Amino acid sequence: MKKRSKRILTFYTDQQVCFDNIETASFSKSPLKPYLLMQRIKKKGLTGAFRMQSHFQPFTKTDFELAHTETYVHNVFNGEGNHRSNSLPWSKNLVHSVGYTNASLYEAKKYALLHPQTVCFAPVSGMHHAQPERGSGFCTFSGQVISAIKLYEEFGVSGAYFDLDGHFGNSIEDSRWFNPAINLAIPKGCNVNPTGTNESYVESFQKGLAHVGEHIKAGKIHYVVFAHGADSHEDDDIGGGCDTKHWLQCAQLFSEWVNAISAEIGKPLPVTLALFGGYRSDNYEAVLDLHLKSLLTCSRIICENPQCETLVIPKKACPREDWMTYKVA
Ligand SMILES: [Zn+2]
């Protein structure tokens, strides 16, 4: 079997960042997160785990209309009607950036599909609450849905999402009436959203892995996306019920599962990583470091990148205030 590339191919450009009004006027810092994460990677000296791909085209209105009404797309582009339904401050910069965030996910997934030895990464969040006629919960457009439909139309492939954000990813289910192509692009049961806390959350995730694994072995699912939202962590401002040990355990289980499935099907399973949610007003670096720890776990286990071997996953749940002291690199 072809060996995995050592570095995670990252679809990032500053164009996918909204700098206007986010720091000052937005609860969610997600439109800035791709930029902040790239800065954090540099600061921590972790650039060796990533390779950048910055040249890609943004989505157009036609792309967005695969998952949204013409009226809603018009409203967002022109700052009219329900353009604030995403609960983010509207700006031309925001409109410009969402064209690139959505394209980042699509380009990452497409590259992983065509070059499965390369793990790809779309450093993007908020997409999974958007609905056909409106935005919701800091999400403007349904990048998950659009990228899946485009890949289905171009290559006839179906995918699965492991959505480990702290909140249910409703975009996919809410789009089934609007564009039935999603039923083939992401079959029912392949939008995996674990529930529970700590052990029960991990068990729920493992059930999802097993379910999708059967679909992959049956040739019905051709790629996976791992969206390890940091708001499923218990310290998040609007977050879920996983302590650090269990949150990171999910990244480890996912990575080991990818290797096991790849061995069973005799080829590397196409894998794309994404960020999704994460909110802390007291310590946003903690959100970024959670994302980084998850990415480096995938790098260490799937890409076998020795640069990341020093990432230690604690055996026991560490006290909430202590988890930041665990070494990243
Ligand atoms: Zn969330």
In angstroms, the CA 252 to CA 230 distance is 15
C-beta atoms surrounding 176 within 10 Å: 15
> CB within 8 A of 188, min separation 6: which ones?
none
86 Cα to the center of ligand 1, angstroms? 13
C-beta atoms surrounding 91 within 10 Å: 17
118 Cα to the center of ligand 1, angstroms? 27
Q: What is the pLDDT of residue 138?
A: 84
260 Cα to the center of ligand 1, angstroms? 29
187 Cα to the center of ligand 1, angstroms? 22
- Of 51, 105, 118, nearest to 270 (Cα)? 118
C-beta atoms surrounding 52 within 10 Å: 14
Express each pLDDT in 190-207 by its tens digit: 999 999 999 999 999 999
Q: Mean per-residue pLDDT for 62-84?
A: 95
Tell me the CA distances in angstroms from 145 to 7, 105, 127, 239, 276, one per residue in order. 27, 10, 9, 24, 14
* One-letter amino acid of 131: Q
266 Cα to the center of ligand 1, angstroms? 35
Sheet harboring 271-274: ordered strands across? 50-53, 8-11, 120-122, 271-274, 223-227, 159-163, 191-192
In angstroms, the CA 233 to CA 201 distance is 11
In angstroms, the CA 215 to CA 167 distance is 24
267 Cα to the center of ligand 1, angstroms? 33
pLDDT over 90, % of the chain: 72
DSSP 176-233: TTT-TTHHHHS-TT-EE---SSHHHHHHHHHHHHHHHHHHHHTTS--EEEEE--GGGB
- Of 124, 133, 30, 127, nearest to 85 (Cα)? 133
306 Cα to the center of ligand 1, angstroms? 31
- Please indicate, yes or no, whether the overall pTM of this predicted structure exceeds 0.75: yes
14 Cα to the center of ligand 1, angstroms? 23
Q: Mean per-residue pLDDT for 75-90?
A: 88
pLDDT exceeds cutoff 50 at 318 = no
Q: What is the pLDDT of residue 329?
A: 35
238 Cα to the center of ligand 1, angstroms? 8
Q: Mean per-residue pLDDT for 232-240?
A: 90
116 Cα to the center of ligand 1, angstroms? 28
- Of 71, 120, 77, 111, nearest to 97 (Cα)? 77
Residue 30 region by backbone torsions, left for phi larger than 0, else alpha for psi between -120 and 50, else beta: alpha
231 Cα to the center of ligand 1, angstroms? 6
Only one residue has tokens 């380009």, namely 107
In angstroms, the CA 12 to CA 70 distance is 28
278 Cα to the center of ligand 1, angstroms? 7
Query: Is 60 buried (19+), middle (13-18) or exposed (0-12) by CB count in 10 A?
Result: exposed
Q: What is the pLDDT of residue 256?
A: 98
Q: What is the pLDDT of residue 320?
A: 45
165 Cα to the center of ligand 1, angstroms? 5
130 Cα to the center of ligand 1, angstroms? 12
178 Cα to the center of ligand 1, angstroms? 23
166 Cα to the center of ligand 1, angstroms? 5
Angle at 240 between CA 235 and CA 241, to 5 degrees: 85
The better pLDDT of the pair 322, 221 is held by 221
Average pLDDT, the chain: 90
Q: Tell me which of 3.20.20.140, 3.40.800.20, 3.40.50.300, 3.10.20.30 is the CATH number of domain 8-325.
A: 3.40.800.20
Q: What pairs with residue 224 in β-bridges?
A: 160, 271
Q: How confident is the model at residue 308 (pLDDT cuts 50, 70, 90)?
A: low
Written as six digits, the tokens of 86 are 């995403």
DSSP 242-265: B-HHHHHHHHHHHHHHHHHHHHHH
Q: What is the pLDDT of residue 263?
A: 97
Residue 87 region by backbone torsions, left for phi larger than 0, else alpha for psi between -120 and 50, else beta: left
The better pLDDT of the pair 314, 76 is held by 76
Q: Mean per-residue pLDDT for 82-93?
A: 84
pLDDT exceeds cutoff 80 at 325 = no
